[in-house]
Amino acid sequence: MLPLLEGLFNGISIGSVLLISALGLAIVFGLMGVINLAHGELMMLGAYTTYVVQNVFKPLGGPWFDLYILFAVPMAFLVAGLVGLLLERGVIRFLYGRPLETLLATWGVSLILQQFVRSVNTVLAISLIVFSLLFFGGLWVLRRRAEWDRIKNWAITALLLLSVAISTVFGKLLSSNSALARPWFSARNVDVTAPAWLRGGFPIGSFQIPYTRLFIIFLTVLCLLATYWFLNRSHWGLRIRSVTQNRQMSSCLGIPTATVDALTFALGSGLAGIAGCAISLLGSVGPNTGQNYIIDTFMVVVVGGVGNLLGTIIAALAIGTINYLIGSGTFALLSSSVPSLQPITDLFNFFATTSMAKVLVFALIIAFLQVKPAGIFAPKGRTAEI
């Protein structure tokens, strides 16, 4: 039974990684009906935020470095949440009810974020700050003029062109400095070192439970409890559920639906950032980190039932556990003890690799969706009406 217990724990730990990555998507995709293909890149930003916080604390040494992860988790939430807020305000809010256009737009944003991480340097960062100050500061000033409604169209165009031109010239002048033009991350992967108290593991028999996995499971449970409390006990959570169930009636009752949309998207994006922080403890971080999880994350949300947190939990743990038990050969080892199950043993041996296990799991998911196309629990909210 020891290999089975080891396989179950490893499967649950993998499922917890899938769950924490799917939690934000379950809110955005489930409650808002938005297909966000940039969700993986929001996870990537959370992972890079953890790397930056680690480098800030590293020179401090001693006990401060061992505490950096406690600061990295909220910072990853804030960075990914702010980027998600900008994405919703700048792109998503114009595309509600148009899933195909939303899918294409967020796919384009994901490519932009990947290239941004590869190319970002001090020159680019300063240029973006200069552009933001000029453009948004100019809008703030012009909107207070009485004739704003009459000059709005050409004023925005002129302000945009002027801001781009000035920030571009400013960036060109700074690019002559090689130190400022050096990329922060480039295309190479970077490593996040776990604090001393997360290294090693808790021994049980002949194997040990890694402290890193236990921390990720604890972080997942914490995020679940916080999300449940926010959606079901807080004032804004009540507004989110109200807008999800009946948008027009909520608007008639005075609920600011645009603000609710922005807050919901920022919350889902922030949870993606926390997922990126957790994932950074398991391996190196690169521009394509999010792409390794986005497909599995969508599978978890769809199988669990769009917008249902309980279904997301069950689907994440089931997919993670089955995937590991098949890929590690645990099922093949258990069935080999019964001679009459030799054909099943041969089948499991054929799929006893990580890549082939994913193929079998996807086949099982397709078969499951033929029986229950709405997932474990039927979707509720805006997506149920589309």
Point out the least confidently predicted range of 29-33, 177-181, 343-347. Answer: 29-33
pLDDT of residue 48: 93
Cα–Cα distance measured from residue 277 to residue 194, given in angstroms and rounded to the nearest whole number: 11
C-alpha distance from residue 102 to each of 28, 37, 99, 106, 298 (Å):
12, 9, 5, 6, 15
Confidence of residue 378 (pLDDT cuts 50, 70, 90): low
Q: Which 8-state DSSP code applies to residue 193?
A: P
* Each residue's pLDDT tens digit, 218-272: 998 998 899 889 888 888 888 888 887 777 888 888 888 888 888 988 998 999 9
Q: Which amino acid is at 190?
A: V
Mean pLDDT of 53-71: 87
In 3D space, the residue among 266, 243, 263 whose CA is nearest the CA of residue 253 turns out to be: 243
Report percent pLDDT > 70 for the chain: 95
Residue 386 has pLDDT above 50, yes or no: no
Confidence (pTM): 0.86
Q: Which amino acid is at 340?
A: S
Q: Which 8-state DSSP code applies to residue 281?
A: T
* Each residue's pLDDT tens digit, 112-168: 999 888 888 888 888 889 988 988 888 888 888 777 778 888 888 888 899 999 999
Which alpha helices (H) appear in the chain, and where do they start and end?
2-25, 32, 39-57, 62-66, 68-90, 99-119, 122-142, 148-174, 178-181, 211-233, 235-245, 247-252, 257-280, 291-304, 309-327, 330-335, 342-350, 354-371, 382-385
Number of other residues whose CB lies within 10 A of the CB of residue 223:
21
Cα–Cα distance measured from residue 1 to residue 321, given in angstroms and rounded to the nearest whole number: 16
Select the more confidently predicted residue: 83 or 352: 83
Mention every residue, 6+ apart, whose C-beta is less than 8 A from residue 294.
37, 39, 40
pLDDT of residue 307: 67
- Decide if 31 contacts 72 (C-beta within 8 A): no
pLDDT of residue 380: 53
3-state DSSP assignment of residue 203:
strand
Select the more confidently predicted residue: 366 or 207: 366
Pairing of strands 207-210, 201-204: antiparallel
pLDDT of residue 335: 76
- Decide if 66 contacts 250 (C-beta within 8 A): no
Q: Which amino acid is at 233?
A: R
Q: Which domains does the chain have, with CATH numbers?
A: 2-120+183-385 (1.10.3470)
Burial of 104 (0-12, 13-18, 19+ CB in 10 A): middle
Report percent pLDDT > 90 for the chain: 12
Number of other residues whose CB lies within 10 A of the CB of residue 129:
12
* Each residue's pLDDT tens digit, 343-376: 888 887 888 887 788 888 888 888 988 888 888 8
Residue 379 has pLDDT above 80, yes or no: no
Half-sphere exposure of 222 (CA within 13 A, CB side): 12
pLDDT of residue 326: 84
Cα–Cα distance measured from residue 21 to residue 287, given in angstroms and rounded to the nearest whole number: 17
Cα–Cα distance measured from residue 110 to residue 338, given in angstroms and rounded to the nearest whole number: 49
pLDDT of residue 24: 82
Number of other residues whose CB lies within 10 A of the CB of residue 154:
9
Mention every residue, 6+ apart, whose C-beta is less than 8 A from residue 224.
19, 23, 309, 313
